[in-house]
Amino acid sequence: MAIQNLRKRFGDLLVLDSVSFEMQASSITAILGPSGCGKTTLLNILSGILAADAGAMAGLEDKRFSYCFQEPRLLAWLSAEDNMRYAMASLQDTNTIEQRISRFLEEAGLTEFRHFRPHQLSGGMQKRLSLARAFAFPSDILLLDEAFSAVDLKQKIELMQAFLKLWKDERPTAVIVTHDIHDALFLADQVVVLSQRPARVRGILQINTPHEARLFGSNELAAYEQQLYSLLGFSTLDQDANMPAN
Amino acid sequence: MENCLIVLSMQSSARPSWTPLAWRLLGIACFLVAWQAASSIVKSELILPGPPIVLKALANLSTTAKFWSAVSGSLARVLESFIISIAIGLLSGFISGISQPAKAFLSPFITGVRATPVLALILLAMFWFPSSQVPVFSAVLMAFPVMHTSAEAGIRSVDQNLLQMSRLFHVPKRVMLWRLRVPSALPYILSGAKNALGLCWKVVVAGEVLSQPRMALGSAMQESRLMLETADVFAWALVTILLCGLSEYLFGLLSARANLVYLSVAPQVSRQSSI
């Protein structure tokens, strides 16, 4: 799948400026960039919600998309399993729907909470349910918009663990939009680093280490982390040191 | 110092807790005292009978067959107008809530009906309908815009994030209506229905006063007025108030139950004025 020279403008505001990158099927791509740089706009263009002003996308035609958002976006009056059923209401095969609901609820560790309503679940469980819903919806490409943000460290690690477990089941192509280096570092096979708005691709980092070998604090991950900071243009908190030499 | 704090906390815990019910009873008692005081000053049962005289008149009326036929006749009219108002208001409110052109199309009509004085409606209805149906027609025209506005606001109040999520997952419109839009609108609909119910009582009885159907609280009230039985007029009015209050209370219980059953977390709803 290839994205070539995408441009998007809202009135006078240029949001995306010649964004290009490629994605392998069944891989995880992280789109990393500062808040407000146009990551969500890029995601919306990929899924066809928004049209680009210029550029081309190859290999995304006739693909089915699934989504996970920053907020769980659950219907408060429906149980966990009914929330999943609701998202799959466009599907015809009832047996497949029920099987997928049971399977992904189990993999998200929510089987015993399937009849619980969202307010009876913790914040982390609600996010896991939202992830399970996204994976249960049959799709070729899974789009995640800041799905691991706004949670504490423990919840974040649990959520990322849940994501990996769910992803390994069917290995859909996944695109994770994030402003957090660690989301990209622990989950992605490739990281597309975007600049401040208007977003341009500052660099693309391939992470070849298998997920099970990405040990917290390991030298290998630290080296990738340093490369990501470097692509983002940061080397230290000292602003003078970050400034490019004139 | 520590002793002082203990004494203060004991004093505050010993203070009687005035529940809302106690304040309500106190309010009613004050109103009755003021009514009795005013009646004593006027010194004329024809102009302003006191509470004991009115209560006695009410007790006398309640033993007659006429009383119960009037209550049942008015109750039937209120229920009829309430059900029709809810049906029309829900239908038009839902359509307006979902479709912007439909909202623009219906809004002049709804605004016109809302602005029409209730008495003008009743007088016109008397040309068109039999006397028993005049109060129903008038009440429907007054109450359905209240239901319409609540249903429309409820449908429009749906969380935009949930709407976007539903569209991205290609949830069919029919499922979206029953699973997302209606539950989101439910607290607004119940609040609107409660207001419409109160309005139905007021307009039905006002319509009965003018159109004089058989078996009606309004007709009985008007008859007592012509007979100069002021205490009876007060008694009939008191019955209307009690029935209206009781039906709103019962509907409130039903609404709370519906909210509990259908929605686990009811969104906050701003109450609308009844007229």
**CATH number of domain containing B253:** 1.10.3720.10
Rounded to whole angstroms, the Cα distance separating A57 from A51 reads 11
pLDDT in the model for residue A246: 35
Interface test with B, best of A73, A78, A101, A133 (most B CBs within 10 A): A73
pLDDT in the model for residue A157: 87
Burial class for A124, CB neighbours closer than 10 Å (0-12, 13-18, 19+):
middle
Q: Name the percent of chain A lying above pLDDT 70.
A: 97
A83: its two tokens? 């929330």
- Residues B197-224 have pLDDT tens digits of 999 999 999 999 998 898 889 999 999 9
CA distance B94 to chain A (A): 20
- Residue bearing tokens 């307006």: B96
In a domain, B129, yes or no: yes
Mean pLDDT, chain B, as a whole number? 85
pLDDT in the model for residue A37: 84
In a domain, B21, yes or no: no
pLDDT in the model for residue A130: 93
pLDDT in the model for residue B74: 94
- Residues A123-171 have pLDDT tens digits of 888 998 999 999 999 988 999 988 888 778 888 888 888 888 888 888 8
**Is the omega angle on the peptide bond into residue A198 within 30 degrees of 0, that is, cis?**
yes
pLDDT in the model for residue B275: 29
pLDDT in the model for residue A166: 84
- Work out how many CB contacts closer than 8 A connect A with B: 51
pLDDT in the model for residue B267: 38
Q: Given an 8 Å threshold on Cβ–Cβ distance, is B172 in contact with A73?
A: no
Q: Residue A42 pLDDT > 80, yes or no?
A: yes
pLDDT in the model for residue B241: 92
User: Which residues in chain A are contacts of B162 at CB distance < 8 A?
Assistant: 73, 75
CA distance A83 to chain B (A): 10
- Residue-range definition of the domain harbouring residue B154: 49-262
Instruction: Give residue B71's pLDDT band: very low, low, confident or very high (50, 70, 90).
Output: very high
- Residues B110-159 have pLDDT tens digits of 999 888 888 888 888 888 999 889 999 999 999 999 999 999 999 988 99
Measure CB to CB from residue B183 to each of A73, A77, A90 and give the nearest one: A77
pLDDT in the model for residue B102: 92
In a domain, B246, yes or no: yes
In a domain, B32, yes or no: no
User: Which residues in chain A are contacts of B158 at CB distance < 8 A?
Assistant: none
Name residues whose C-beta falls within 8 Å of residue B110's C-beta, 6 or more positions apart in sequence.
Answer: B92, B145, B148, B149
Q: Which residue has better confidence, B274 or A27?
A: A27
Instruction: Give mean pLDDT, residues A24-47.
Output: 87
In a domain, B7, yes or no: no
Q: Given an 8 Å threshold on Cβ–Cβ distance, is B179 in contact with A86?
A: yes
- Residues A61-77 have pLDDT tens digits of 888 899 998 889 999 88
Taken in order of first residue, the domains within chain A and their CATH numbers are 75-179 (3.40.50.300), 183-193+204-235 (no CATH)
In a domain, B3, yes or no: no
Helices (H), chain B: 2-14, 20-42, 51-62, 65-98, 100-115, 118-128, 134-156, 160-168, 173-176, 182-211, 217-226, 230-262
pLDDT in the model for residue B4: 42
- In chain B, the number of structural domains is 1
In a domain, B226, yes or no: yes
pLDDT in the model for residue A175: 93
Instruction: Give mean pLDDT, residues A25-36.
Output: 88
In a domain, B19, yes or no: no
Which of A222, A193, A219 has its CA nearest to residue A206? A193
User: What letter represents residue B17's amino acid?
Assistant: S
Reported ipTM: 0.85
- Which A residues 182-201 touch B at CB under 8 Å? none
